[in-house]
Amino acid sequence: MARIIGGIGTSHVPTMGLAHDKGKHNDPAWAPLFQGYAPVAQWLAERKPDVMLMIYNDHANSFFFDCYPTFALGVSGTHEFADEGAGKRNLPDISGHSELAVHLAEQLIADEFDLTIFQDRPLDHGCNSPLSLMSEYQGGWPFALVPLQVNVLQYPLPTANRCYRLGQALRRAIESFDADLNVVVVGTGGLSHQVHGERSGFNNEDWDKTFLEWIVTDPERLARMKHVDYIRLGGAESVETIMWLTMRGALGASVQEVHRNYYLATSTAMAVTVYETAPAESAP
């Protein structure tokens, strides 16, 4: 049986990947960010997942506003990374896990989540920016990737509750896969930021810290919130943190946070966290 061994929440700011590619790991402006990802890379190296299920949003690179799916699952045997206008990053393609991906598609649709299924569409910074900070890739990535794209750009968006319930359905689907696989689930996005309009440059550190607490202790409360609440508290683009709720829903009722790093140095508050399923309480 496949099993979920933990979850990761991460920002997916494109400049993270740019700073990585330019070797700014020891630059005073970037070092706190890269230091925050080192324990994540170590955790992944120790836990050795077979598959990473990455929940991200495409920024109009592979999906466009004339046809932008609410939920889209990639089933390709190999995934490449997108050229977003400045040339492709120097990253190797990453293997997919078609058997698991097809199983997830069948199970989620049977669970009444209507999906778009895609192949051969490159993955943009929503996926590759944090991925390159979390793992060594010289000589090839050490795990396969199943990408799940969520619409957080073009209204109407899926609700926070819908994303949370999708995560719960993902857990059921993964655990019904008849193969010995360790799976880590990654939710991307945010935290607080707004890149347009009168509130351009807006951040809210207090809300970010509250969100990072509630995602552990009270995800149902986050799931009940409306899009307008996320936007009011965290800025227009922070609504993408509903993708963290998909990751959180897949982890079960109780989790332990084993790592957190929060860094606000640019227009986006950047965070990375690692969660493990909490051990069951001992019977009295």
Q: Is 125 among the residues known to form the active site?
A: yes
CATH number at 55 reads 3.40.830.10
**283 in a structural domain:** no
* pLDDT of res. 284: 33
- The angle that helices 31-47 and 14-21 make with each other, rounded to 10 degrees, is 90
User: Tokens representing 146?
Assistant: 């199943």
**282 in a structural domain:** no
Mean pLDDT of 50-58: 97
Burial label, 197 (beta-carbon count in 10 A; 0-12, 13-18, 19+):
exposed
Number of domains in the chain: 1
**100 in a structural domain:** yes
Mean pLDDT of 110-133: 95
Give pLDDT tens digits for 186-243. 999 989 999 888 888 889 999 999 999 999 999 999 999 999 999 999 999 899 999 9
Per the CB < 8 A criterion, the answer to whether 98 and 137 are in contact is no
Catalytic residue among 12, 20, 103, 125: 125
**246 in a structural domain:** yes
CA–CA dist 197, 189 (Å, integer): 20
Catalytic residue among 193, 196, 227, 259: 193
Domain span at residue 115 reads 3-277
**64 in a structural domain:** yes
**18 in a structural domain:** yes
Check pLDDT > 50 for residue 181. Answer: yes
* Averaged pLDDT score across all residues of the chain: 94
Give pLDDT tens digits for 72-107. 999 999 999 999 888 899 999 999 999 999 999 999
Check pLDDT > 80 for residue 280. Answer: no
Mean pLDDT of 130-154: 96
Check pLDDT > 70 for residue 139. Answer: yes
**80 in a structural domain:** yes
Among 245, 255, 125, smallest CA distance to 187 is for 245
SS (H, E, C) 160-225: HHHHHHHHHHHHHHHHCCCCCCEEEEEEECCCCCCCCCCCCCCCCHHHHHHHHHHHHHCHHHHHHC
Find how far residue 25's CA is from the centre of its chain.
22
**284 in a structural domain:** no
Mean pLDDT of 162-187: 97
